Chains A and B, each alone.
Chain A
Amino acid sequence: MKKYIFLSAIVISILGVSCDKYLDTTPQDFISPENYYNTEAEANSALYGLYTVFNDNGNGLYSSNALTSHVVPTDEVHRNNTTGDNTLAYDASSSFLNTYWAQAYRYINNCNSFLENIDKPSMDNGKREVMRAEATFLRAYIYFLLTSQFGDVPVKLSSTQSASGLSIAFTPQKEVYEMVLADMTAAEAKVYDVDQSKQQPTRVSKQVVRGILARVCLYMAGNPLKDVSKYQMARDWAKKVVDAGKNSLNPDYPQIWINIAQDAYDIKESMWEVDFKAPQPPYFRASGWGGQTGIGITCPSTNPDIGYVLDWYKVSYSLAAYYNTDTFDVRRNWNIAPFFYRGATGTWETPRDSLNTTVALRNQKVIDKNPGKLRRKYENVRPATGTSGMNFPILRYSDVLLMYAEAENEISGPANALPLLNQVRTRAKCTQMYSMSATNPYFLITDDKETSRKAIRDERARELCFEFTRRNDLIRWGLYVQTLQAEGQTFIANNYNTRMRDVYARVSERHNLLPIPLTEITLNNLAKQNPGW
């Protein structure tokens, strides 16, 4: 009898457990994409997720490290160092490049996945189309960042599903730009208008898309594509922004930055920003450029009212020189901090040097100075610790005006361009304006295309310095290599800091494009490296 009891026990134990059911386990502490996108709220979370491409945990495309590493030095800023990523010593194996590239493609994949799933939730179709348009725009914008810096890049328009067969051919830069243009143009029709969207300046509006389209067109018109027909298109998009009348310049230039420091959103001026927020814990690390590109403190302890700044960057010679044209320009003493912090607690605002001395001496000392655009003492969050929550402006209205002017100048010459330029200068409290003819003794005569082109370019440096558009501007104008070489000569000429000479001397034609990161070259069979790398 016992025998049968035990025999049946084993039979039961074998059959009782249905193997496959026993082996079907499901994840308990994470959600799989298959189980998501059920509601509008979930779709919203996924959409906001796409925007983290810019601020994500220090790896965002505009986070402190990724953003600033490769755009320094230029003729506006340098880092007083001979080694490291900021010294043109990078190559394909540099990790910051791989981080940037990987981040960009991670979010391209996220955008693709979003676009593949956005039809799933049951929600208002109007809202759905807006979200689709935003995701399409973001993907195009990431491709724009990539192609403008890396040239030919792989284009992926669907999400990765399998771990094999991932080698993908590089698409020529021209085609990438065409795709960016097409996607953004399509998005422009559907995204919220500036007064409909509640989540600005983070989420893009029609005005933002138009402004970025103007930027894309200008890049296409410049080096290396030189598709000059795009000047017309750039002008049209910029004009649309201006004509809509929904944006305007903040009359007080410093106030733009005080607003940014205080999270007081001024979307008329600062149209699109990357949202950073401090203190970081317990949420995502979202500290941005304010902790890095600011006014230095020479004491080791932090004053909780000022906030710690890494003090990496110093102003270059040329930037100071650009301001010499008009000493009343309020932007000079704001953008080039005339003081730094020192003392036991860092409270003393100590002048770097007297700005009342001669121009020559000022120039010589200028490279000691910090970019002063971002001033942490205006931040609301106290104590101001090691990280700053200041937002980063991707697009400002003055940029749109200057792009408008630049395109107009290329199409029709100075006549229509100079008034736009003067709008920006007026706001900066400049006394000297640009004019075709000398109707006023202070006006600078700018009656040919070449002179006004130079005026617009210099104005961009004065207005947009440290917003890290300079490198790309110089490249599209075909001036990058020569400008940097000249900057190096200026360092020598002023007999100051000869080691920076070596840094600037490293520049060559290959630097017009960044090298494709080594990991991509190694693992993607169809990858090709940029010339010279």
Chain B
Amino acid sequence: MKKNVLPNRFLLERRHNKILLVMKLTVAAVVLLVSQVFANSASPQKTITLKLQNTPIKKVFAEIENKTVYRFVFNDDIIPVGKNVDLDANNEAVNNVLDRILVNTNLTYKFPSETVIVITSKNAIAANAPAVVKVITGRIINDRGEPLSGASIKVKGANKGVVSDANGEFKIQLDDAKEKIIVITYSGYIQQEVITASIKSPLNIRLLPLVENLDDVVILGYTSVRKRDVTVSVSKVDVGELQKAPVISFDQALAGRAAGVQVVSQDGQPGAPINIVIRGNNSLTQDNSPLYVIDGFPIENPDPNTINVAEIESLEILKDASATAVYGARAANGVILITTKKGKIGVPVVELQAYTSSQKVLKRIELMNPYEYVKYLYDLNPVNTLTGYLRNVDNNPKSVDSVLNLYKNVRGLDLQDAVFGAPAPFSNYYLSIRGGNEKTKYNLSGNFADQKGIMVNSGFKRYQLKFNIDQTISNALKIGLNSTYTYTDQYGVQPVGSGNSGLAGGTSYLMASVWGYRPINVSGNIDSLLEQMNDASIDPTNTSQLFNPLFSTRNEYHKNFQANIFVNGYLDYRITPHWKLRMTAGINQTNGRREDFYNSQTSRGRINATNVNGVNGNYSHNITQNITNENTLNYNNTFNRIHRLNVLVGFTNQSVKTNFYSQGATNIPNESLVIAGLSQGIAGVPVVDASSNTLVSFLSQFQYDYKSKYLVTASFRSDGSSKFSKDKRWSYFPAFSVAWRLSNEPFMKQIKVVTDAKVRFGYGVTGNNRIGDFSTYSSLAGGYSPVNNTFLYIANLGRFGNKDLKWETTAQSNLGLDIELWKGKIGLTVDLYRKVTSDLLLNANLPTSSGFSSVFKNIGKTRNQGLEIQLNTVNMERKNFNWTTSFNISFNQTRVLELAENQEVQYSTVGWNGNYNSTPLYIAKKGGPLGEMFGFVSDGIYQYSDFDRSSTGAYTLKTNVPTSFTTRLTQPNPGAVKLKDLNGDGIINNSDRTVIGSGLPIHIGGITNTFKIHDFDASIFFQWSYGNDIYNANRLIFENGSPNSSLSYLNMYKSYTDRWSPSNQTNDMPSANPGALPGNYYWSRVVEDGSYIRLKTLSIGYSLPAKIIKRLGNPFKRLRVYTAMQNLLTWTNYTGFDPEVNGRPTALTPGFDFSVYPRANTITFGANLTF
């Protein structure tokens, strides 16, 4: 047998060398890119400079490979061993060099293609001279016309073959007499045989995928199904589009991408938490976030920042119970399946993605200028203002105006200038190397992202390294490992939830103090105002002085480090062709560290009357360890080519351990040591929490289809959770779904337009166990309490454990329709669903006479129902012009069907301001929707006409006009806020409150248009939310004429210049000094329509055409440069920073806005380079 065939070992070795080469090239390319210099791209590689002495020939070949684009192909056996050569080439053509090396050997060479050198034995050619050699060249492509590199082209019946190159091209020599058939194989594609006699070179071979197109496969938990055969409701997110958004984690780009998925971020802070709710909130008080399954590993609350968008291969969202029930116990809130990129067969592909962005604050709030501010102060308190700002002029309109007018030319201070600073950079680098052969596939990637916040001294960094490998050990056995290490570093002041200094009225929140800071002081010297730690001279009698927020942003030290390690291994064993065993084991561990430090220049650390802690700080350390083992056995068979059957049984177990350690110190003497200074302070009580839970599950799934016409899926899972008592811990989750492919029926065949049509119905039960690990246990709360002036250890009953707790169950039915018209030109999916959650795990209030105020109970019931429509169209498909549209809209309605015993309503408060914290702002009524805002209805402003005027000039409220106070003894002044007296008793009290808004939208959705014109591509993505209200609590302070004295003298929003005054008797905003006001009323005036439509992502890219790349000498395979813009335009009536806000993200309190971190508008320039 002739041995001019490449042994595998050699292939591997070559590939290895090439990786090194590619890496070098990459580094070179990075340097090129960074320096922004595109060097002369002539092909210097065709010549070589090489100096070697006494070197084996093979080594010489390797050196040439290293320094040039050429690849050698030869049979190991023909290379003479021990025959070393000397070489001294200086920029010499490669063929000349070869001539010199091979001069004394029995070898010759050929250039079958531009970059391949084949070394053969002269003898061999001579010996086989009579054979008729047929040379076949060709190209292997996939169904989409993309070249498949690394495909194997073998001669049938002979151990002889070649591999396709990066462009999918190959060249093979055949003995025309004997070698009649070639076999083309490529992993994941259907093997193809070609009879050589019929071949007309060049040959174009199109391989069809084994399970159709990878894009057309939907991963459904433990199995995957062809998209057209799906019987359940699942949204497959277009990852390619998702990756066009310049964001740090996938969840930030998810809103509007999939029907039925509501994504609302708390605010615009880098790394801020994002709320994903699938088909409405089930649970009132418990977590409603979906279960994540990342590369087969189920996690309840992963840190989304550990998932790089660029790493995602596919993203599926399982929505209905028949899809999620296989995840049973934790699937009631839906399941998000994320599959990350894996190695692929073929020559190594190196991909470099780099972009840099500039982020600017989307919107600023206009504030009063010095003139308006002083005028406001004069209206508020003429006496104080005359002596200060108005330079002791006489109190008559003319003189006051003359001084006031001087302020018109004075430059005022707007601290927004200082805290937002210059546009913030955001850069992201991602490098990956993927490759493999039929046996081994690998993927190695790294990411570094550095996002500065738009507020000074805040930001987010991520470092990530990921490696995975899949190894086929034998025909039956395959193993693999997937590992990721992520380190994130979030830093800076958090405007949400920073109300801490004990100041009243929410002014200790960062944005509130930015807005409220005076634009000018009495002396007119702005610089001195900037340098003061607190604005002491606002009003000397006012003890609640405003802290300078610049000091907070500069001096507060907040660091949040998270190190996440994720390792997941699997073993696939094919027992028989139909039976497959899969075992996976994985660990996901997060080590988090948080550091907060308040030095003497911060509101919490400054030395004053109320601060007993002095300079203080705290650090905490949290460890979460999640270990999972899953074992499934799968039977897959097709009978008579028409009955397809897939059965899966499995056993899984998971344990989660959490530990938390925290230590604080107060009165720290050396603040320059920052967090390390804690050791010198007075130590607080360390906090140590430890907890764990375990879950054991048995699962089974059955899929059957008859001719792809009638499809049935059923699943059954049983879960045992350690969170419940012994007799309550097991629960069973059945589900089924059926589908009928109408289009396969004869009567439909005539309707040519409809290429595919399918009706689906599913029903299933899922669970939720999101309660504390030990909620069934009562606890003893320990501590120390003074007994005769010594602290003694005391023990009291703490939490009340409810031994009767059981799973919360959600039963969901789903009716769906999938239609495809004109061979996929139009694809429509419509889903109608209803889900009822009962035995709601509710932190139910108890009559306090029981000794407890609340306990977790299985009580309460909610219902969500809705409609989702997803429409994909190919609008235009020309050679150089391609236009597609993807549209989705979802409607969801939530109803509270039952609450705790005897409970008709559930009120919810939000914490933001000491005066309001115990006043409910949200209400959930039995039978009503969730998240309704609750308060008084604004009725404009008290006008002079509402009062009787006495002879002395005193105003008395007319008897038929209600007072805004709880007693008629107290009366408002003209210009005060007026509220509707709903029960008509003449006074305003709690019984006059009603529903004043709704935090949940009527519908949400998104629309993406993508264009491809020649080598340009563009994508425009709009996202909207309609029908939701936002409670703009900022305006309770900054447009309200100081509802309580501690807020007087703050600067106000510019809009407040249009307030009521005797000369401007409007009916909207109260006067500057309306007298005493009810202190803690929520009223409807600041409920705003939160509907918006936003041009969320716009990206325009240009890919360098293959021809040009070739002309450049193939330094890389692909280059795309692009610009992407995020949050470009927003159409909304909302007056706050941003309508995409959820300041207090719980199911009961949607759409609250107070002093949040504003969102950024991002402009990105980037390049994706593939080698």
Interface residue stretch chosen among A95-103, A182-190, A230-238, A327-335: A95-103
Residues on the B chain within 8 Å of A523, using CB: 845-848, 900-903
Q: Does any Cβ of B come within 8 Å of A93's Cβ?
A: yes
Q: Which of A25, A32, A101, A524 is the one whose CB lies under 8 Å from B693? A: A25
Residues on the A chain within 8 Å of B798, using CB: 30
Q: Does any Cβ of B come within 8 Å of A168's Cβ?
A: yes
Q: Does any Cβ of A come within 8 Å of B609's Cβ?
A: yes
- Quick check: B694 and A22 within 8 Å, CB to CB? yes
How many whole Å from B40's CB to the nearest CB in chain A? 57
Q: How far is the CA of A112 from the CA of B826 in the complex (A)?
A: 71
Query: B interface vs A, CB < 8 Å?
Result: 476-477, 543, 573, 575, 581, 583, 608-610, 612-613, 629, 631, 633, 651, 653, 655, 666, 683-685, 688-696, 720-722, 726, 729, 773-774, 777-789, 791-798, 800-802, 804, 844-853, 855, 857, 900-903, 918, 966-967, 969-970, 990, 1076, 1079
Q: Does any Cβ of B come within 8 Å of A19's Cβ?
A: yes
Known contacts A32-B778, A283-B784; is A24 also within 8 Å of B969 by CB?
no
Q: Which of B651, B791, B797 is the one whose CB lies under 8 Å from A109? A: B797
Q: How far is the CA of A301 from the CA of B970 in the complex (A)?
A: 34
How many whole Å from A485's CB to the nearest CB in chain B? 15
Known contacts A9-B583, A98-B848; is A23 also within 8 Å of B800 by CB?
no
Q: How far is the CA of A51 from the CA of B787 in the complex (A)?
A: 9
- Quick check: B785 and A156 within 8 Å, CB to CB? no
- Quick check: A27 and B779 within 8 Å, CB to CB? yes
Known contacts A110-B797, A522-B902; is A23 also within 8 Å of B779 by CB?
no
Q: Which of B477, B583, B695, B784 is the one whose CB lies under 8 Å from A10? A: B583
Q: Does any Cβ of B come within 8 Å of A440's Cβ?
A: no
- Quick check: B787 and A275 within 8 Å, CB to CB? yes
Query: A interface vs B, CB < 8 Å?
Result: 2-3, 6-7, 9-10, 13-14, 17, 19-20, 22-25, 27-33, 36, 42, 44-46, 48-52, 55-56, 82-83, 89, 93, 95, 98, 101-102, 105-110, 112-113, 153-154, 156, 159-160, 162-164, 166-168, 199-203, 263, 265, 275-277, 279, 281-284, 286, 300-302, 308, 385-387, 389, 502, 505-506, 517, 519-520, 522-525, 527
Residues on the A chain within 8 Å of B609, using CB: 300-302, 308, 386
- Quick check: A167 and B796 within 8 Å, CB to CB? no
Residues on the A chain within 8 Å of B796, using CB: 46, 49-50, 52, 107, 110
A-B contact pairs, 28 of them (CB 8 A): A2-B573, A6-B573, A10-B583, A25-B693, A27-B774, A29-B689, A30-B780, A32-B780, A36-B780, A45-B794, A45-B795, A46-B794, A49-B785, A102-B853, A107-B851, A108-B851, A110-B851, A163-B802, A163-B844, A166-B849, A166-B850, A275-B786, A283-B785, A284-B791, A300-B609, A301-B609, A308-B610, A523-B848
Residues on the B chain within 8 Å of A519, using CB: 845, 847-848, 853
Central interface residue in A9, A106, A163, A201, by most chain B CB within 10 Å: A163
Residues on the B chain within 8 Å of A167, using CB: 847, 902
Q: How far is the CA of A120 from the CA of B612 in the complex (A)?
A: 43
Residues on the A chain within 8 Å of B846, using CB: 163, 166, 523
Residues on the B chain within 8 Å of A386, using CB: 609-610, 612
- Quick check: B791 and A277 within 8 Å, CB to CB? yes
Residues on the A chain within 8 Å of B694, using CB: 22-23, 25
- Quick check: B688 and A277 within 8 Å, CB to CB? no
- Quick check: B795 and A263 within 8 Å, CB to CB? no
Q: How far is the CA of A166 from the CA of B966 in the complex (A)?
A: 34
Question: Given A27-B774, A46-B794, A284-B791, 9 other A-B contacts at CB below 8 A?
Answer: A10-B651, A17-B696, A19-B720, A33-B780, A283-B685, A300-B609, A506-B967, A519-B853, A523-B900
How many whole Å from B790's CB to the nearest CB in chain A? 9
Q: How far is the CA of A422 from the CA of B813 in the complex (A)?
A: 84
Q: How far is the CA of A203 from the CA of B790 in the complex (A)?
A: 13
- Quick check: A202 and B848 within 8 Å, CB to CB? no
Q: Which of B581, B721, B789, B847 is the one whose CB lies under 8 Å from A168? A: B847
Central interface residue in A10, A98, A113, by most chain B CB within 10 Å: A10
Known contacts A27-B777, A30-B780; is A281 also within 8 Å of B684 by CB?
yes
Q: How far is the CA of A277 from the CA of B788 in the complex (A)?
A: 9
Central interface residue in A7, A29, A153, A263, by most chain B CB within 10 Å: A29
Residues on the A chain within 8 Å of B613, using CB: 281
Q: Which of A3, A89, A160 is the one whose CB lies under 8 Å from B852? A: A160
Q: How far is the CA of A203 from the CA of B787 in the complex (A)?
A: 8
Residues on the B chain within 8 Å of A199, using CB: 787-788
Known contacts A283-B783, A301-B609, A523-B902; is A102 also within 8 Å of B689 by CB?
no
Q: How far is the CA of A399 from the CA of B610 in the complex (A)?
A: 36
- Quick check: B849 and A55 within 8 Å, CB to CB? no
Residues on the A chain within 8 Å of B850, using CB: 105, 109, 156, 160, 166, 168
Residues on the A chain within 8 Å of B855, using CB: 163
How many whole Å from A142's CB to the nearest CB in chain B? 11
Residues on the B chain within 8 Å of A110, using CB: 796-797, 851
- Closest B residue, CB atoms, query A44: B792
How many whole Å from B238's CB to the nearest CB in chain A? 37
Known contacts A28-B690, A113-B797; is A48 also within 8 Å of B785 by CB?
yes
- Quick check: A263 and B696 within 8 Å, CB to CB? no
